[in-house]
Amino acid sequence: MQNPILNHPDELTEITPEAELLFNEVSPYLKPEDLALLKSAYFFGQKAHAGQFRKSGEPYISHPVTVARILGELRLDMVTLAAALLHDVVEDTGIQKQEISERFGFSVAELVDGVSKLDKIRFQTKADMQAENFRKMLLAMAQDVRVILIKLADRLHNMRTLEVMSSEKQHRIAQETLEIYAPIAHRLGLENIYQELQELGFRFSYPTRYKVLLKATRAARGNRREIVGKILEAIKLRLQETGLDATVTGREKHLYSIYKKMVEKHLSFSDVLDIYGFRVVVRDVSSCYVALGALHGLYKPIPGKFKDYIAIPKQNGYQSLHSTLLGPYGLPIEVQIRTYEMHHIAETGVASHWLYKSKDIDAGMNELHMKANQWMKGLLETLNDSSDSLEFLEHLKVDLFPGEVYVFTPQGKILTLPRGSTTVDFAYAVHTDVGNCCVAARINGEISPLRTRLRSGDRVEIITAPAAKPNPVWLSYVATGRARSSIRYFLRTIQYSESVKLGERLLNQALYAFGVNPETVEPAQWEKLIRECGVKSREALLADIALGKQLAAVLAKRLVVPGESVSNTSGKSSITILGTEGMTVRFARCCYPIPGDGIVGLIKKDQGLVIHTQDCPAVVKIKDHKNMDNQLDVVWGAEIDRTFPVSIFTTVVNKSGVLARVTAEIAKADSNVDDITLENDKDYTTMRFILQTRDRQHLAQIFRRLKHIGEIVKMGRIKNQ
């Protein structure tokens, strides 16, 4: 096949020393024809960027060349390297994607387009623009993982040269690197890039702290070099005695790792630095376990500090045995034991696909890429479910978690979830339909509530009901972006009609308060208001009112037609609550209002109308701050046919069987117990219940029955959770 660049000879043929290094580094594994095409891409990029310079004063072409060199260290293919050399030509020059496709092929052009930013589109804020950039980049990444590999290399070189930027830009870019790019590199198993991005992000985010820690580690390193050397020799000697051919190296802790441990665990510098790291690399899997036994014989293992990532690999394909040992002088020692193949995967992650072609580890590569593709597929689902880019970026940050738990399905399949995940997260990880219909779960055979946090090793079975629906409360405790976006998607779509109805009631109430009959508002007034608010329809505007995105009072005032007011209609100024409004009306869990209570409605953004008791601290706080724009007058309907949760407490004398007697009396009063917590003292126990009641009269009946129990010394309703 004829090289397309030969039809378009370039004038520039100068190869810089750095470009020469690139070609020398990749020539051992690239075919001659691929190397020729790579040089053509270099000349094309050099010509396109002619006259452009970086802030450091270097010719701009030096940046894409360095990006390609970083990827060359991962031994990536020619298409990726060519796209790296051209990744800025669409964004920074007049070159179009079509021309790149004609010269270097469709694949190169697609990668370049995936990396390019959206500078030609107008956004309301910088945050919107940056979020949309991530959205587009990750959409392209879901099609081809090489997009993110180029972007990570691009970010790494930008971080290496960040000192030429203003301090404000340094901090912003460094924070973005720590929050997004470094975790993505870690998730894809690119350990070296991950570590360097973290270190540089820390250096520019917290320059003073970085300098202090750097100085302290350099001082400590000299003092402890002898101890580390002795431990290293002892490990080598023990492995030799066991007959193992192993490579042993000592690892220094990275500054950001030290800083994170100091902050998270409230430790001093000396406490963190006392943990030494050593890596043992052996021939095969069986040798890993032999080496583990040998080292456990040399130094005592610390209980609870052993992890087998060979039997259960991490989500990014990482495999290793981790053990913490008690070394000489009582110093903790972290040891990682892995095979050479595992070590290469740990260093290069998904990029290993292009580095290794042997049949021996082909299965491992396939599994690694399958896991990466599953994660990216999940991102794509989140992308489709998210209404805007900022929401997607929020989900992405949630998913780039630092820790993981490993849980089992009833069939024995392992699912990896972020630390802090609940049974709802597990349900959505199984399938969106399972999450939408879940009502409870069995964890290790025992019925557990949906908010239960999962631990590694838990066996989870989800209980579903066909009529069940997602609850907005779930958003307060789910940990995964997939669960959060699926719940929000359901609430936005399935509950849209309910939101429209509630929004209309709220707006009508506000119009009556201004003395205007809603039926007298002219269509022209509505059309004008819809245009001014930037929504598509009257229904969309009403839904925004119900979800707290627009204030009914403000919109009503803008709809008022001068001179066409009517007297306020009695009884129309309050919203009537029947308890059947659906998910657009919620009953606050801080005060648990029930029929008979004086109530107030508060509009909360993305939550709709939340009903509180009038004496609830949340309402009192709003009144104290005189911020009552979101407060609505609400009243209970005359006939309400449902039960409501209410929170009560009983303090009892510690005697056998009291709890059973209390719950029996509650049942006799025709009430169910939803939840119970106990707080023990030496002589007394305080029981806190969440019960189902019809109204205040029903609650009074329950208290009258409880008075028959002599062991109860105090009881009452809880309104301040």
Angle between the 78-85 and 146-160 helix axes, to the nearest 10 degrees? 50
Task: Find tokens 């004829």 and name the residue.
Answer: 2
3-state secondary structure 248-260: EEEECCCHHHHHH
Q: How many helices (H) and strands (E) does the chain have?
A: 30, 19
Question: How far is 141 from 394, CA to CA, in rounded Å?
Answer: 18
Question: Is residue 91 flagged as an active site residue?
Answer: yes
Catalytic, 522? Answer no
25, 92, 199, 308: the catalytic one is 92
Q: Please list, residue by residue across 118-141, b when 16 or more beta carbons sit within 10 angstroms of its beta carbon and e when fewer do.
A: beeeeeeeeebbbbbbbbbbbbbb
Cβ atoms 401, 182 nearer than 8 A: no
Contact 526, 505 (CB under 8 A): no
Give the burial class of 184: count Cβ atoms within 10 A of its Cβ; 0-12 exposed, 13-18 middle, 19 or more buried: buried
Question: Long-range contacts for 354-362 (Cβ within 8 Å, ≥24 apart)?
Answer: 354/74, 354/75, 354/76, 354/77, 354/80, 355/74, 355/75
List the 438-443 sheet strands across, edge first. Answer: 446-448, 438-443, 460-464
Cα separations (Å) of 333 from 117, 185, 250, 322?
Answer: 45, 26, 10, 11
Give the Cα-Cα-Cα angle 196, 155, 481 (nearest 5 degrees).
Answer: 90
Q: What is the dihedral of CA 367, 368, 372, 378, to 10 degrees?
A: 30
Q: Which of 77, 91, 113, 128 is catalytic?
A: 91
In this structure, what DSSP letter does residue 386 have?
-
Is residue 361 within 8 A of residue 341, CB to CB? The reply is yes
For Cα atoms 37, 42, 44, give the angle at the middle one, nearest 5 degrees: 95
Give the tokens for residue 420. 């802090």
Query: Among all residues, which ones are annotated catalytic?
Result: 91-92
